[in-house]
Amino acid sequence: MLELPLPLLIMTVVGIVAFAASGAVAGARAGMDWLGVSTLAAVTAIGGGTLRDLLITETPGWLVDFWPTVILIAITVVVVWIAARVFPWQRHRAWMGHVFLFTDAIGLAAFTIVGTDIARDAGFSYGPAVVLGVISGIAGGIIRDIIAGIRISIFDGEVYALAAVAGSVAFLLTQSFGDWVPFLVGVSVTLIIRLGAVTLGWQVPTLPTQVSDARDD
């Protein structure tokens, strides 16, 4: 991990910690034990990157940098666990919701850009790079929500994958501006769109829910 270019290294560490925190918070809100909280944190932190690496036929990054990844996730889990003990969500419902949304948005932004950069370095053109970047950003959250029994927001009208697409495209369009600018622009665009959607209630159009009818049987 330490051999990565500095912008990519920072984004990778930020993504691991942020997504691990969102997974741990989801586990704490679901009332899981320490193993469940740790599992959710881990699969959220490594799920998207693992799927991306498998698609581009590379060894998943966390297997190469096993102990640094484990240590980052473990520290994050301990912090969330202690916070959940000190401020139980049953009496402090707002804080866990805010932490979940914020860390999830940061993880989405960081891993989308990391995935896009890795895909470009692997020789993929712009279109596949965007797809792989979005997969890197959203897959871990989808796995987390499935395990935690949470309705998957990406399919429920949330401006989530769309924010990742915009950030990935912004990253690619600014690659000629140096090493740091594309990362900062890509992450900023993703965060602004995702957090703006949460704050202002932006939604992706959805189809109406089917009302069950006895005649459908």
107 CB contacts (<8 Å, ≥6 apart)? 15, 18, 19, 21, 22, 44, 45, 137, 140, 141
Cβ contact 110:187 at 8 Å: yes
Q: What is the mean pLDDT of residues 86-105?
A: 83
Tokens 């369009």 locate to 173
pLDDT at 144 over 80: yes
Question: What was the pLDDT predicted at 148?
Answer: 87
Is residue 5 helix, strand or coil? Answer: coil
Cβ contact 165:173 at 8 Å: no
Is this structure's pTM higher than 0.85? yes
Within a 10 A sphere around the Cβ of 116, how many other Cβ atoms? 32
From first CA to last CA, the distance across the chain in angstroms is 56
State how far the Cα of 94 lies from the Cα of 207, in Å rounded to an integer: 30
State how far the Cα of 138 lies from the Cα of 124, in Å rounded to an integer: 19
Residue 22 pLDDT level (bands cut at 50, 70, 90): very high
- Across the strands, what pairs with 203? 158
Tokens 């942020």 locate to 18
Backbone angles phi, psi at 156, to 5 degrees: -120, 30
pLDDT at 164 over 70: yes
Is residue 162 within a helix (H) or strand (E), and if so which, with residue range?
Answer: helix 161-173
User: Minimum mean pLDDT among 53-57, 96-100, 116-120, 137-141: which range?
Assistant: 96-100
**What tokens were used for 173?**
């369009």
